[in-house]
Structure 1
Amino acid sequence: MVKLPSVGLALSGGTAKSVTHVGVIKALVEADIPVSFVAGTSGGSIVGTMFASGMPISTMETVATNMSWRKLVSIRLTRMGFISSERIEEFVTETIGHLYFEDLAIPSGVVATNLVTGDRKIFRHGSVARAVRASCSIPQIYLPVEIEGEYYVDGGLSEYLPVETAQELGAEFVIASHLAPVDPTYRRPRNILQLVVQVTGLMARKNFPISEQKADFVVHPNVDAYSSFDFDHSAEMIEIGYDATKRLIADLKDVWQRAGGLGPRIARKLLGE
């Protein structure tokens, strides 16, 4: 019997749109796709660590549909930024408990960016909540986060779609859930927060094609109609993620099963992907 490759799940950033990942995960769980590794960036790290903690999908849906900026933002004026990200750390702790990476049911990595070097940092040890806080700290919106004497900001600047991170964790077959705009047409920002997020997205966009090519299977839910700051439509975005993945399950299983005998990238090539 052919041994199927271990599956890793790479969850992109996406700010409020990251709740879409919950629907993607729900479809994978229903299809009995066994996820052995989880990598998350920015908002994807919140959803990824909830899943990796062993939280039931129904609970994840409840948490996601009840999220709000009030739960994630603490106004605090400083020289480096005007919003403290400590509420993100508190939210993660309140949601999954004061866990360390070693406590997670599924081995995971959280991506952040070193503020000095610009290098990607993969957190896989220590406090989960602290790492997620660093991964979500968008420059000029949130303050940088200090961990072991180094300062970190949003992981999307170094690896928006953490496919390589999933591979480095040990995944042999990486499923990527990518929330970058399907139609990257310029949209005029309506406020400073939208402007900062749009600029950050532009900086990360150059790596999108490379990351997608390194993945073995990509799910790209179309949530272009929703704002990056919109938690009022979380249920709809979760449903979009679920439907987008559900439609691809047969193809996904085909590629995954072929990968068991051919190797993931050879299987994708034969399927014309």
Structure 2
Amino acid sequence: MALRVALVLGGGGARGFAHLGVLDVFYKEKVHFDFIVGCSMGAVIGAGYAWHQDVTSLKKLAEDSVKSEGLQEIEKFFKQQPQNGNRLIFEKFENMIKKINFFSRIRKKWLFESQNIRDTIQKIIPEDLKFGDLKIPFACVGVDIFTGERIIFREGNVLDAVLASSSIPGIFPPVKQGKRFIVDGGIVSQLPVEEAKILGADYVIAVDVGVSILSQELQDGIDILLQCNKIMSWWLTVRSKQSADFVIHPEVDGINWYQFSQFDFCIEKGKQKASEKISDLKRSLRKKKLKSFFSSFPFSQ
């Protein structure tokens, strides 16, 4: 029985562009995988590759999305978050204005409308694309914001599924599907290794674009809450990585999720880390395939 290999692409916002660099190396090195499972930005890139099956075309489409008004608005907004520290008097005044604008906006249920991100993702994934149309089998993960139910999307409209998997709570509205209100699957599975195994993977290659939990300073209650959320996500990812057969972690820790302008940097980091790990990956795959082959004989039981 042939070994079923899954490629798992984790969430991480702009850091997820590193997946393009990894895919580029995999394509050139002829690394085969039977299906892709993604979360958040990993879902966007994963679905895009499952449809286009061409890294060059996908990079061009992703680059166009980075230049879209939607992503530029998001990056501009978060760059204007109030900052602490010593400032000149006019800088302090400017910062006070930013605080008023920022905190008045975050009192809403979400910061940006879904059309903002939908139009962006649609540059990569056609609006009417169905899961059955994809050239490589693909799945992505979301979660019902009210019940906590994990949803693994494998059928229906791809754009709707990816939009749900990418809808960061509080940043974008939940995606309504039937009675469910679905948000970013990263809440329960930032690196969906378990989901890949549920779908029948015998060998999982996981690409983790998460961040370090190290924090230089925690100045207020909001910082502490954010740090606690980061720690929870980090521990979930650690457990996922322990379940994977091979992990690639591009060095993009210093990039904030909203820094979409770091597109080229993240791709290059993905290429670097995949190139560094490719020999080990091929060796690991060969070993697993041999073990799987010999275990199929009666005398090995």
User: Can you list the C-alpha shifts for 1:34-91, whole angstroms capped at 9, x where unaligned?
Assistant: 1211011011100000001034111122223331463357999995323112233333
Matches within 5 A, 1:158-177: 158-177=188-207
SS across alignment from 2:109: coil
State yes or no: 1:81 paired with 2:110. yes
- Preserved contact between residue 157 and residue 200 of structure 1 (Cα < 8 Å): no
- Preserved contact between residue 143 and residue 183 of structure 2 (Cα < 8 Å): yes
- Write the distance in 2 (CA, Å) between the matches of 1:59 and 1:195: 41
Structure 2: segments with no counterpart, 5+ residues: 78-104, 296-301
Distance 1:4 1:198, change over 3 A: farther
Distance 1:164 1:262, change over 3 A: same
Deviation at 1:164, TM superposition (A): 1.5
What corresponds to 2:251 in structure 1? 222
What corresponds to 1:107 in structure 2? 137
- Write the distance in 2 (CA, Å) between the matches of 1:248 and 1:4: 24
Find the partner of 1:213 among 219, 234, 242.
242
The residue identity in structure 2 corresponding to 1:126 is G
Find the partner of 1:186 among 215, 220, 240.
215
Greater displacement, 144-153 / 162-171? 162-171
What corresponds to 2:279 in structure 1? 250
- Preserved contact between residue 62 and residue 123 of structure 2 (Cα < 8 Å): no
Distance 1:77 1:247, change over 3 A: closer
Distance 1:200 1:136, change over 3 A: farther
SS across alignment from 1:39: strand
**TM-score normalized by structure 1?**
0.85
- Write the distance in 1 (CA, Å) between the matches of 2:229 and 2:160: 21
Distance 1:136 1:194, change over 3 A: farther
Deviation at 1:194, TM superposition (A): 9.7
What corresponds to 1:17 in structure 2? 15
SS across alignment from 1:35: coil
SS across alignment from 1:174: strand
Matches within 5 A, 1:12-91: 12-66=10-64, 67-68=66-67, 70-72=69-71, 80-91=109-120
- Preserved contact between residue 86 and residue 133 of structure 1 (Cα < 8 Å): no
Deviation at 1:113, TM superposition (A): 1.0
State yes or no: 1:146 paired with 2:145. no
- Preserved contact between residue 8 and residue 36 of structure 1 (Cα < 8 Å): yes
- Preserved contact between residue 213 and residue 227 of structure 2 (Cα < 8 Å): no
Distance 1:64 1:17, change over 3 A: same
Higher helix share: 2
What corresponds to 2:261 in structure 1? 232
Find the partner of 1:119 among 123, 142, 149.
149
Distance 1:199 1:59, change over 3 A: farther
The residue identity in structure 1 corresponding to 2:157 is S
- Write the distance in 1 (CA, Å) between the matches of 2:240 and 2:259: 26
Distance 1:189 1:65, change over 3 A: farther
What corresponds to 2:3 in structure 1? 5
Distance 1:100 1:199, change over 3 A: farther
Structure possessing the higher radius of gyration over alpha carbons: 2
Structure 1: segments with no counterpart, 5+ residues: 267-273
**Moved beyond 4 Å, runs of 4+:** 72-79, 187-190, 193-200
Deviation at 1:149, TM superposition (A): 1.9
What corresponds to 1:260 in structure 2? 289
- Write the distance in 1 (CA, Å) between the matches of 2:250 and 2:265: 12
Deviation at 1:187, TM superposition (A): 5.4
- Preserved contact between residue 58 and residue 124 of structure 2 (Cα < 8 Å): no
SS across alignment from 1:180: coil
**TM-score normalized by structure 2?**
0.78
Aligned residues: 260
